[in-house]
Structure 1
Amino acid sequence: MTYIIAEPCVDVLDRACVEECPVDCIYEGGRMLYIQPDECVDCGACEPVCPVEAIFYEDDVPDDWEPYVSANVDFFDKLGSPGGASKVGKTEYDPPFIKGLPPMGEED
């Protein structure tokens, strides 16, 4: 089990969680952030600092956002476990589900 970042993060990319993560396991895609499950130590430090409340323990992801669990898996199928997000930096990759979403995070 791990933490999952869900819909409120799409196109927001606040990064407060990245700064708080003690093990550097939160990776940046083109439109959102992803938590590497093999690198995450389940400390939960990221969850309370997320300003848009997008981070959930995997078992607590709301039903409407269940596809984000698969999107997280898909992101790391391609990237693997590089041993730290700072080694990789921002990628422009997002899984097809995320790429296909309409623009979000913008208030008119």
Structure 2
Amino acid sequence: MKPIQTAVIGFGLSARVFHLPFLAVSPAFQLRAISTSQGEAVQAAWPGVRVYDSAEALLQATDAELLIITAPNQAHYPLASQALDRGLHVLIEKPFVPTVAEG
């Protein structure tokens, strides 16, 4: 089976401790891109993975099938909406939205 082409928005604790280690050990996924302001840290840990300096740049250019969003909570809904509009599958860490009014 072909690995699921995956991109990640964010390179904070959740991405580094939970999501990326799982992707690294699972042959079902291939990490294609990460958006972060920590490009050098990504290249050191994940050589060959494309780095984008913004989520918007990643969304414009990605060839991923799955997007994992580990951005700050207030960015979850807008980023997920954009990704879904582009036909991507989306995994969002909790909470999906920071307030009930946004849900």
TM-score when normalising by structure 2: 0.30
Greater gyration radius: 2
Instruction: Decide which structure has greater helix share.
Output: 2
TM-score when normalising by structure 1: 0.29
Instruction: Decide which structure has greater strand share.
Output: 2
